[in-house]
Each structure stands twice: as structure tokens, then as C-alpha cells.
């Protein structure tokens, strides 16, 4: 079920009404579990079986990790829980990548092997699998007192039925189920308690929903019709200027699409009394690559840092291993995005950038002047934009062909209509980031009034300037 569909609005309206009925107050969790099942299984009911299986694995393993009376068995349960999550993810997400690496063209395979290789990718599997892993790891750390108190403590109910219900709810909660933000158990579980209608922060809800839908419907959906020509073989017929503009436009599109989803998810969750973590924090004002990853897809970046980078040793094992760890984390982060080697190369592109930046960075107290800050912001944005062919195009050779076309197609006449359209729909995102910078550095008393005018303008544009409806980009991950 898509957030930007009529059926979702009807579904959400009915769910809110039933959820806040006083007579059903003590069944609020069960209502949201049922609603999440309807939301997730709306298009493919069979996917519910996989979701239930994943949620059950994490509920069972986390319980025994916490309550088994022997440390060795707690560790065994934790390892089993993480391994089970990874096996499910690898089986459904990377079967084609592994199959193509072994068999090459497996289109002529027959029998059971061919059936498994042609299984579709379940929506949201990358997100709810990572939530399950973080749950099991954090519960193990909470129960393991040999190395001191855990950084984040997860409390597990002694009653297994109650524990199962809470963990099941934590995994399947529909606002963040299919595209995040990735929520940690220690953030979510303490919030599970009765909610009242008069506790809703309506200002917060409405602002997130308007901003989210504006970014998705007005910006991303309009830009996708212009950046479509990045696909092979269409890009070969466009000028170098068009090809570079496509990449800049896609930078704006993917931010608007994914940040839009995150804002909507945060707003919808708040409608039910639950707070989800911030997932985007004006990433295109970043003056360094490390800052960008602190501002872009924050829930994934923090997950990779907390459960992979630190697990590999972080920066505690010398400079060389620090660079290796950065590279490996971004490599696996790239593969998380999709079952194609292009995603891995895209991750390595960022890994090399982070390692090189760390190597040349020097601690200094002097603040850069405005011009130097602006140059750094532009450089980071250009670097990020020129990485997108490896992310978008399914084959590495096609990404290479795209870069070749940029260098060779200067003789072709630019399509100015497309360039103007991309610039036009990119301006609101640029203004969005500039406004944040101004607001951070200058205190104007009229900012709050300006914000309400801005939200009113976005709401108006939603009714007249929506692009052709499309799925969220991160649904495929």
C-alpha cells in the first residue's frame, strides 16, 4: 500500500478512528498489528508469512538471549538470531546476485533452482531485518554483564506472550515497515503504552505530513519524469550538459523521494502517539563526506556505525584498520541497497571518499569563511551526484558508458526544456536547505510566521502541481 494512494488515506482514517475508540483503548497494540498486516499484505498476502516468520524469529531468540541462565547459551541464541535474520535477507535479496555470479546467465535454468532464483524481493525486507538484528544484539548486550553495563539497555518482559506481542508490534509497525526509518528497540519499546487522542502533537503531525507529501508528490514525482533518461540506452542520445543535469536532478529527486517518505512515516507514527527517529537532516549543506553521512539516511548510517563499524573495531585498531573498516562498512552499506555489484561499487566510492577525507583531515579551531564553506558544499554535492550512475544503472558497464557519454557528447545540442524543468523543481529543495542555514545562523522573529506561509504554499501546490504517481524509490530495497 503506497502512502500516496487514495486507499491509504481511507485506511489511515479508519485506523485512527478505531485506534482511539475509548472502548478499544486496551487493544491499541493489537489494532496496529492488524492494521500493519492489512497495510503490508494489501498487494501480496503471501508476504505476510515471511514478515510473521521474521518477527517470530526475533521475538523467540531475543527472549532466550535475555532470560537463559547460562552465558554460553545466551550467546548461542544471539548468534542464531542474527544468523537467521541474515539468511532470510541473503536468500530473498541476494539469490540473483549469487546465482548470476556462479551461473552467469541463469535465465535457462529449470527446476527448483530456477524457482528460487526468480523469487521477487519482498518489500521492506532490508529494513525489518536490520531492526531484528539490532534487537537481538542490543538484548544480548543488555544481558551480558561481563563487560560492564550496556550502552543501550533493552528491557524484556518476563511473560513470553506479552514479550512476543511487543516485539511483533515493534517489527511490523506499518509507518516505518517498508522503508524506515530503522528503529532501535531501546527507542521504541518504552513507548508502548496506552495513547490518548488529546496527546497528539497536531502541529508536528501536520508539518511532517505536508512536507513529506510535498517532497514526494510535487518534487520527486515531477523530477522522475525528467531523470528517466538516465536509464540505458536513452542516455546515449543526450548532450553532456543534459547528462550532468540528469545526475544533479536525481540527487534532488532521491532526497525528495526518500526524505518525503521518512517525513510521512514520522508524521503518521506521531498520529498514533509514537516517535520515530529523524532520518534526514538537510544533507546537502554538508561540507564533508562524513558530515553527509551524519545527515543522510541517519537511521542506516547510525545502524552501520553501531553494529558493523564498531563491531569491526572502529578506529581502535590503528590507522590502517580504521581506513579498512570505513571501506568495508560502505561496501556492505552499498550492497544493502541492492543485489547488484553496481551498488557495491557505489558503496566503495563513498568508502574511498571517507577514508581519503579522514587521512587528510586535520583538527583545527579556525572556522572556514563563507566562500570556502560554499565551495566545500558544492564539491560534496558534485561528488555525490556523479556517483549515482553506479546506483541507478543495473550493470557496471552501463555506468561506465554513462561517464563516457558525458565526456563524448559535448557536440550534441542540449535539450533545454528538460534542463529548465529540472532546475525549476530543484529550487524548492535548494531554498529548503538555504532557509535552514539562515535560520541556524540568524534569529529572526518572523521565521515562525514565514514557516506557516511556506506550509500553506506547499499544501496549495500539492493540489495543483503533483507529478505522475510513482512508487517510492526505496521500496525496492
Neighbours of 134 (CB within 10 A): 25
Please name the helix (run of DSSP H) or strand (run of DSSP E) that holds residue 359, with its range, or none: helix 341-360
DSSP state of 27: G
Instruction: Check 147, 152, 297, 337 and give the catalytic one.
Output: 337
| Closest by Cα among 54, 32, 60, 80 to 161 | 60
- State how far the Cα of 122 lies from the Cα of 475, in Å rounded to an integer: 9
Q: Which three cell numbers stand for residue 464?
A: 495543483
Q: Whose CA is closest to 153, among 163, 137, 166, 138?
A: 138
Contact 176, 123 (CB under 8 A): no
Q: Which residues of 340-355 are buried (b: 16+ CB within 10 A; e: fewer)?
A: bbbbbbbbbbbbebbb
Q: Which residue has the cell 538555504?
A: 434
Distance set, CA 96 to CA 92, 120, 248, 343 (Å): 9, 10, 30, 14
DSSP 8-state code for residue 139 = H
Give catalytic status of residue 152 as yes or no: no
The residues that are catalytic are: 337
Amino acid at each position: 500500500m503506497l502512502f500516496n494512494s487514495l486507499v491509504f488515506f481511507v485506511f489511515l482514517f479508519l485506523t485512527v478512528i478505531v485506534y482511539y475508540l475509548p472502548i478499544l483503548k486496551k487493544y491499541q497494540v493489537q489494532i496496529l498489528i492488524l492494521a500493519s498486516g492489512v497495510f503490508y499484505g494489501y498487494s501480496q498476502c503471501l508476504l505476510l508469512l515471511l514478515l510473521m516468520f521474521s518477527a517470530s524469529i526475533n521475538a523467540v531468540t531475543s527472549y532466550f538471549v535475555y532470560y537463559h541462565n547460562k552465558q554460553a547459551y545466551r550467546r548461542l541464541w544471539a548468534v542464531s538470531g542474527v544468523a537467521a535474520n541474515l539468511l532470510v535477507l541473503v536468500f530473498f535479496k541476494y539469490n540473483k546476485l549469487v546465482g548470476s555470479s556462479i551461473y552467469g546467465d541463469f535465465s535457462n535454468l529449470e527446476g527448483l533452482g530456477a524457482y528460487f532464483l526468480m523469487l521477487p524481493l519482498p518489500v521492506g525486507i532490508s529494513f525489518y531485518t536490520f531492526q531484528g538484528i539490532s534487537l537481538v544484539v542490543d538484548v544480548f548486550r543488555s544481558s551480558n554483564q561481563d563487560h560492564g553495563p550496556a550502552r543501550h539497555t533493552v528491557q524484556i518482559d518476563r511473560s513470553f506472550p506479552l514479550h512476543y506481542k511487543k516485539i511483533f508490534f515493534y517489527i511490523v509497525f506499518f509507518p516505518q515497515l517498508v522503508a524506515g526509518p530503522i528503529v532501535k528497540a531501546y527507542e521504541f519499546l518504552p513507548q508502548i503504552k496506552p495513547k490518548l487522542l488529546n496527546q497528539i502533537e497536531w502541529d508536528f503531525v501536520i508539518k511532517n505530513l505536508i512536507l513529506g507529501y510535498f517532497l514526494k508528490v510535487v518534487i520527486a514525482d515531477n523530477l522522475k519524469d525528467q531523470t528517466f533518461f538516465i536509464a540505458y540506452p536513452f542516455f546515449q542520445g543526450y548532450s553532456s550538459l543534459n547528462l550532468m543535469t540528469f545526475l544533479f536532478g536525481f540527487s534532488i529527486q532521491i532526497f525528495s523521494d526518500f526524505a518525503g517518505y521518512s517525513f510521512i512515516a514520522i508524521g503518521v507514527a506521531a498520529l498514533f502517539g509514537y516517535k520515530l527517529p529523524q532520518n534526514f537532516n538537510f544533507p546537502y549543506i554538508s561540507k564533508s563526506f562524513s558530515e553527509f553521512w551524519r545527515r543522510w539516511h541517519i537511521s542506516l548510517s547510525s545502524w552501520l556505525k553501531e553494529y558493523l563499524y564498531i563491531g569491526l573495531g572502529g578506529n581502535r585498531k590503528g590507522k590502517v584498520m580504521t581506513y579498512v573498516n570505513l571501506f568495508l562498512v560502505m561496501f556492505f552499506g552499498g550492497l544493502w541497497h541492492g543485489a547488484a555489484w553496481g551498488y557495491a561499487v557505489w558503496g566503495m566510492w563513498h568508502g574511498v571518499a571517507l577514508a581519503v577525507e579522514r587521512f587528510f583531515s586535520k583538527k583545527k579551531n579556525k572556522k572556514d569563511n563563507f566562500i570556502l564553506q560554499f565551495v566545500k558544499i558544492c564539491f560534496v554535492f558534485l561528488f555525490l551526484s556523479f556517483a549515482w550512475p553506479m546506483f541507478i544503472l543495473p550493470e557496471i558497464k552501463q555506468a561506465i558508458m554513462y561517464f563516457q557519454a558525458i565526456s563524448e557528447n559535448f557536440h550534441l545540442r542540449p535539450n533545454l526544456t528538460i534542463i529548465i524543468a529540472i532546475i525549476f523543481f530543484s529550487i524548492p529543495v535548494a531554498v529548503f536547505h538555504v532557509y535552514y542555514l539562515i535560520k541556524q545562523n540568524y534569529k529572526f522573529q518572523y521565521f515562525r510566521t514565514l514557516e506557516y506561509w511556506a506550509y500553506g504554499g506547499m499544501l496549495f501546490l500539492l493540489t495543483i502541481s503533483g507529478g505522475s504517481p510513482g512508487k517510492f524509490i526505496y521500496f525496492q530495497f
